[in-house]
Chain A
Amino acid sequence: SQQGEEDPQALSIQEGENATMNCSYKTSINNLQWYRQNSGRGLVHLILIRSNEREKHSGRLRVTLDTSKKSSSLLITASRAADTASYFCATDAATGGGNKLTFGTGTQLKVEL
């Protein structure tokens, strides 16, 4: 079963606005990662936050993690049309080896000019 559920499923904003996506998961994790997928392409890693971290920044990205609520959020500030893509959270439960990830269902972000 899916580990992560994302909210909202779809988000449409104007260029320059901020976009916030949320992810909830079910079990204890080692880390949580966010990936981006442009239409018809493979996934690209954006940022990783470990279970002992609460917030992380990378450029226009800000990720928070609340392990007590088993949830994470991804904030994209000052969005651009090029940010239009699907965004997925993925959790590493650190069980069974192999750095296996369990992906959420994704948020489709559309940034309009």
Chain B
Amino acid sequence: QKEVEQDPGPLSVPEGAIVSLNCTYSNSAFQYFMWYRQYSRKGPELLMYTYSSGNKEDGRFTAQVDKSSKYISLFIRDSQPSDSATYLCAMSVSRGNQFYFGTGTSLTVIP
């Protein structure tokens, strides 16, 4: 069983839509949760970082962690064509230790 499961998509939405991206995981020891955005032919860049359970909001982006269900989500409000990218979730047990990544979800926002 993979440590982290993520639906690869692809996901296609109209501009202005609310997007929900999700990951599930099997290791209950994960405490640090991240979302990365990767544009085509670029390396991943950090979008959101969350410790333990709860919500974190940054502009149009909200990261949600439910440790009881081993489920994390990234919500994008008022999606824009510039949000078109692959979104990867990542998690780790402790700070500075090995990261485990999902496969990434490909998102296209249509103008």
- Do A and B assemble together? no
Q: Please report B residues at the A interface, Cβ cutoff 8 Å.
A: none
